[in-house]
Structure 1
Amino acid sequence: MNNINFLQTKPSSRYDEYDPDQYGNKNTKFADIIIDGKSLYQMLRKYDLVPSLGWGSDDYQKLIIDYFLLRQEHNYLYYRYPILVCPWCGDEECGFISVYIEREGDVITWRDFKLEPDNKPIDIGPFYFKWDDYERAISGTFGTAGIQ
């Protein structure tokens, strides 16, 4: 059995209050993904993308939650899902990081993170989560940062 990771989410933003880089940039607010106490956003910050959860229109947020809860396949990625997206618009055409998500019994696995559209592997993961905790954390992201 693989080690089970602990998943949480919390409201966050692209820049902190005193960050000089925020001037002239969009300070996107989102639901940060915290794995075993570490921010996924911070782990992958060098790619200048933000988590796809917790922001955008209501329909967009519901779609992303459905993806992560495996209620709906992505149109062209199938079981890969956009986990970090463009901080300006969230559009996949701007580039994104995808993750392969699968469920086996009561365990969800995130693996094979890739920088898209280049399909370039990113050396992070895999991560394993208990379904009940995972479902609660992902569902709880709706409305975290509202519509932006």
Structure 2
Amino acid sequence: MAAEYATFGLAPATRAGQVHTDGDFQVHRDFMDFVVDGRPLLFRLSDLDAVSPLASDVPPAIFTAQVRGLLLEADAPLPGGRYVIYGCPECADLACGAVTAVILRDGDDFVWRDFAWQTSELADLELNGYHGIGPYRFPGAAYREALATLLDGAPRPRRRVLLIGTRVALLARLAAALRTIGIGADITEDARGVPADELRTYGAVAFGRTVTEARRASVRRAFADAGVDVAHVDGMGPVVPVLVAQIEHALDRGPAERRRLTRLTATAAAADVEVTSPCRVRLTAYRLDRLHRTHVHEVFDGVLEPGGHRVALDAGAVKGEAYVVARTPGSVLVTAVTRAPGRG
């Protein structure tokens, strides 16, 4: 198959971390995704939890080597001139599976072809090839320019969050959960005494429900005086996985127009979710009982086509104070369950 010309670009993307109720977790990863003809290449893979080799937490020498490889300035890491395009976000082990492709030069152009799912040194195109993806021919100048920008020492994302609140025990559990998935977290009652240089290291500030508006304004003013644009999170409820999801959403630095998950609302009867490309969506309901114990219900897990979808909710799963978290392989949204006045 002849390779047709396509545009090549890069865009920030996030693989949101998650803390499970059984103590298991998945790590938070920031990376640069490949944008082909204006659309993230990862979006063509509907049920893939993966990151590109251009991740922000990769050591600088290895990151540079990955870029040099994509520029064909280094030998291919796999037989047949194959390069890893997307790999396991937890360990990057080929045995976990990876999307690979042949990258070659054709005159001044770069060609990506023969995409495949690979779990060993050799790829089986007949059995595991992505026959609907590629081949792509990228004009050499634009391709080199896009990748060369990654070698200029651009600032890395601020993966720290400042937690403001008075419920010390809850904040301590939240901070521990965030650190487990790779997000730095610090706790304070106010930010007025925090040096400006330290405030500039945070990507988000999260407020507990008991924090007064005056204190919130003081914190916002401190960040503004430090000259840092930081995301603000108003904690929905005292449920650690819900708060983690809120913070993950706030830290997502990818362009809004390139996110898969764009809308989530929920009532006692149903959750409404909207996606922009075919992808796996998982909906989880969290509710607090009268003793403030958390109950978790997995309400949906499947691949959805682009557009809006309504998922029925069991009344018992969202009784009382409840929240719904929606996750795709690359993004997360959270909503409180709303209900008609006078109905519990």
TM-score range, shorter chain: 0.7 to 0.9
Counterpart in 1 of 2:73?
71
User: Are the equivalent residues in 2 in contact too, given 1:54–1:145 (CA < 8 A)?
Assistant: no
Distance 1:41 1:22, change over 3 A: farther
Separation in 2, partners of 1:133, 1:77: 27
Q: Does residue 134 of the first structure (1) align with residue 143 of the second (2)?
A: yes
Q: Does residue 113 of the first structure (1) align with residue 115 of the second (2)?
A: yes
Describe the superposition over 1:19-63 as per-residue Cα deviations: whole angstroms up to 9, x where unpaired: xx7343222110011001111122225122111124311122111
Separation in 1, partners of 2:75, 2:102: 11
User: TM-score normalized by structure 1?
Assistant: 0.83
User: Are the equivalent residues in 1 in contact too, given 2:84–2:98 (CA < 8 A)?
Assistant: yes
Separation in 2, partners of 1:86, 1:145: 21
Separation in 2, partners of 1:85, 1:2: 24
**More contact order relative to length (CA 8 Å, sep ≥ 6):** 1
> CA RMSD for the aligned pairs?
2.5
Deviates more, 1:3-12 or 1:115-124: 115-124
User: TM-score normalized by structure 2?
Assistant: 0.38
| Counterpart residue type for residue 107 of structure 1 | D
Counterpart in 2 of 1:13?
14
Separation in 1, partners of 2:52, 2:156: 12
Distance 1:38 1:94, change over 3 A: same
4+ aligned runs moved over 4 Å, structure 1: 142-146
Distance 1:95 1:2, change over 3 A: closer
The correspondence for 1:82, drawn from 78, 81, 84, is 84
Distance 1:144 1:111, change over 3 A: farther
Separation in 2, partners of 1:144, 1:104: 33
Deviation at 1:92, TM superposition (A): 2.7
Distance 1:78 1:59, change over 3 A: farther
Deviation at 1:94, TM superposition (A): 2.6
The count of corresponding residues between Structure 1 and Structure 2 is 143
Aligned residues: percent identity? 26
User: Are the equivalent residues in 1 in contact too, given 2:3–2:135 (CA < 8 A)?
Assistant: no
Indicate the structure (1 or 2) with the bigger Cα radius of gyration. 2
Counterpart in 1 of 2:18?
22
Separation in 1, partners of 2:35, 2:118: 22
Separation in 2, partners of 1:93, 1:79: 19
The correspondence for 2:98, drawn from 67, 79, 96, is 96
Deviation at 1:78, TM superposition (A): 4.6
| Counterpart residue type for residue 115 of structure 1 | W
Separation in 2, partners of 1:126, 1:72: 21
